Structure 1
Amino acid sequence: MLSRLKTLVSHEGFRAQPVTMSLRCLAWAFYVAIGRAPAFLLSSHGALIRVPATLRFTSVASYVWRDWFEPELRHLEKFVQPGQTVIDIGANIGLYTLKAASLVGPTGRVIAVEPGEEASRQLRANLALNDFPQVTVAQLALSDHAGEATLHHIPLGDDPQAYSLMPDSSAETGETVAIDTLDALAARMGIAALHLIKMDVEGAEPLVIAGGRETLQRFHPIVIFEVNTRLLAEAAGDRHAAWHALKDLGYRFYRLRDGQLEAADGVGEAFGNLVAIHPDGPAGIREGR
């Protein structure tokens, strides 16, 4: 409990808005006590979201931090413009999907890919809070082939909200889900342009890339992807696997720090996000911008 509280208050969003976020902490404690889950604004762009009224860290952090949850979410408008197309792979309850939908607007398109039954249910409920006809939910997992697979539920402390196709020593439960490739999904959805992919699939990133090479080579979208070095090492035997797969396609890598892109020379030792940008991809998004 103390370590989670320390994580909460040491976050850059908390440091930037200490009074606002302290008040949100008090408000969330009240909502948990009365068992009520309020809808709240994810960002100034207007998307509404609701998370379960529990003390699970993901719920608390989502309510308190909102779009400060990750730097890439906070600065998503740097990568997404009105009328563009986004695929959110591993959408979970919709943090990125909702903000992306508010940014692309009614002339754009967001495809939210989420295989987990519980997460998909919450995702659809959050979409119902908003008028976002530009969002399509695909309840499946992406991999390097089509069929079925076990989606493992990976506990994060007392917060079992991470899902992965990769076997994990800490996974205690799972569910059978449909799987397909990114290339097949793009064809089925009739995607004619693709500007951004956000990918958070707990170690299965190399599989998604392998099943989406044609799409990546055709559109050269920006790729925001999670690097979980422990899961990548366990699953693929190489924690650099996703990096190498995208590098082979011509991508260059960046980290977002203080709202600015800085060139990255490696995946790092723990977890976090990297931004992969292809030289032939969207113009105007490069280091220092």
Structure 2
Amino acid sequence: MPQGNPAALSTTIRRTTLGRLGEVLRPRRRLVPVGKLGGPTGPAEAAVRAMAQAVPMGGGTLLCRTLGRHKMLVDAGDFTLAPHLAMDGFWEWWTTRFLIEQLKPGQVFVDGGACYGYFSLLAGELVGPNGKVLAFEPNPRSASLLRRNLALNGMGDRAEVEEVALAGPGSGRVMRLAMPEGSPMNSHLLPEDLSGTGGSQGANQGPDLAMVATRPLDRHAVARPDFVKLDLCGAEEAAFEGMQELLAANPKVQLLVCFNPVRCMAPAAFLERLARQFPLRRLTSDGTMADCAPSDALRGGDVMLYLAR
């Protein structure tokens, strides 16, 4: 600050005062309305990116702003999902847009493989206080953050977190969950455990392996879900077999199933099984539906299948 010059001192004080006043009066960014996130990708995605931010927190976590509205705690050591949420503010825009346009107030949504709860939070807002979200996440660290995120965003009264892995109709026993370093979203049940040939082989627990409870989704058939999303890193086949009573009780249910032939035990047979019960469709990059031939899905890579009668 200038010394010994009254005019310069007065100017500096005036500028400082006006600057502080401007900070108070400057319009604050408003949260992006969830209804504005559907429709054409460009404007909505740009608005979400403009609001994205991340702040380091204690306990090895980051606090992110996602979808221009939700506060989300993520693992700071995650190098797969967390960077997208921190820098872009969203994940899988095509799935995000599709859910925004499909979910209705009062519905019941199942989020199989919820991780930190990005889709659980979105669904919780879309189904509203009269709806319900059932979030399944077996990774202990991710499940803990999932609970905190739902509470942080005021969704605790409409969401339940089940720290179990979804599996087949005969599940209910403890299985081994592999947790790749730096990639909690890719935690997965070991294939030999899913097929019933492994359970006791090798080490039972370690820094990247945990013993987790499993459950068929049929145990929640009484909830009559309207929409089920399964992104289970290879357990989709088993989980689908474990929800046949649910499908029979609620034939109008809609499903999103992540399919990757590399992670399936019998990919062609699984697609044939799905096609016997539903028309095969997939989500496109712009969040719309398109018919999907089995040969297209078997080419490789992740395909988000949409199944509805």
* TM superposition score normalised by structure 1: 0.75
Match of 1:274 in 2: 304
Match of 1:201 in 2: 232
Within the candidate set 261, 273, 288, 1:229 is matched to 261
Within the candidate set 132, 137, 143, 2:161 is matched to 137
User: Would you say the 8 A contact 2:94–2:283 is kept in 1?
Assistant: no
Q: AA paired with 2:232?
A: V
The alignment partner of 2:75 has SS state of coil
Equivalence map 1:78-93=2 (5 Å): 78-93=101-116
Match of 1:262 in 2: 290
Match of 1:286 in 2: none
How big is each residue's C-alpha offset from its partner over 1:134-159, in whole Å with a ceiling of 9 and x where there is no partner?
Answer: 10111111211232233332537x43
The alignment partner of 1:118 has SS state of helix
How big is each residue's C-alpha offset from its partner over 1:61-108, in whole Å with a ceiling of 9 and x where there is no partner?
Answer: 122233343411233112211111111111111111110001000011
Question: Which sits farther off after the overlay, 171-180 or 88-97?
Answer: 171-180
Deviation at 1:130, TM superposition (A): 1.4
For 1:180 and 1:17, how far apart are their aligned partners in 2?
Answer: 36
Structure 1 unaligned residues grouped into runs of 5+: 1-12, 280-289
For 1:164 and 1:181, how far apart are their aligned partners in 2?
Answer: 16
How big is each residue's C-alpha offset from its partner over 1:243-274, in whole Å with a ceiling of 9 and x where there is no partner?
Answer: 22322223432223323211111314333232
Q: AA paired with 1:182?
A: L
Equivalence map 1:181-220=2 (5 Å): 181-186=216-221, 190-191=222-223, 193-220=224-251
How big is each residue's C-alpha offset from its partner over 1:165-222, in whole Å with a ceiling of 9 and x where there is no partner?
Answer: 2338xx9832111112111133xxx31x321100011111110111111111221311
The alignment partner of 1:248 has SS state of helix
Cα distance change of structure 1 residues 23 and 180 upon mapping to structure 2, 3 Å threshold: closer
Match of 2:148 in 1: 125
User: Would you say the 8 A contact 1:116–1:151 is kept in 2?
Assistant: no
- The number of equivalent residue pairs is 250
Match of 2:276 in 1: 248
1:38 aligns with 2:63: yes
The alignment partner of 2:84 has SS state of helix
Segments of 4+ moved more than 4 angstroms: 13-24
For 1:36 and 1:180, how far apart are their aligned partners in 2?
Answer: 29
Deviation at 1:17, TM superposition (A): 5.5
The alignment partner of 2:214 has SS state of strand
Deviation at 1:20, TM superposition (A): 7.3
User: Would you say the 8 A contact 1:151–1:165 is kept in 2?
Assistant: yes
For 1:15 and 1:102, how far apart are their aligned partners in 2?
Answer: 21
Match of 1:175 in 2: 210
Q: AA paired with 2:261?
A: T
For 1:86 and 1:20, how far apart are their aligned partners in 2?
Answer: 24
1:164 aligns with 2:188: yes
Cα distance change of structure 1 residues 23 and 137 upon mapping to structure 2, 3 Å threshold: closer
For 1:61 and 1:249, how far apart are their aligned partners in 2?
Answer: 35
Match of 2:196 in 1: none
For 1:95 and 1:124, how far apart are their aligned partners in 2?
Answer: 12
CA RMSD across the alignment: 3.1
User: Would you say the 8 A contact 2:177–2:212 is kept in 1?
Assistant: no
For 1:18 and 1:108, how far apart are their aligned partners in 2?
Answer: 29
1:96 aligns with 2:131: no
Cα distance change of structure 1 residues 149 and 228 upon mapping to structure 2, 3 Å threshold: farther
User: Would you say the 8 A contact 1:151–1:163 is kept in 2?
Assistant: no
User: Would you say the 8 A contact 1:113–1:137 is kept in 2?
Assistant: yes
Q: AA paired with 1:271?
A: G
Cα distance change of structure 1 residues 57 and 206 upon mapping to structure 2, 3 Å threshold: closer
For 1:59 and 1:38, how far apart are their aligned partners in 2?
Answer: 10
The alignment partner of 2:277 has SS state of coil
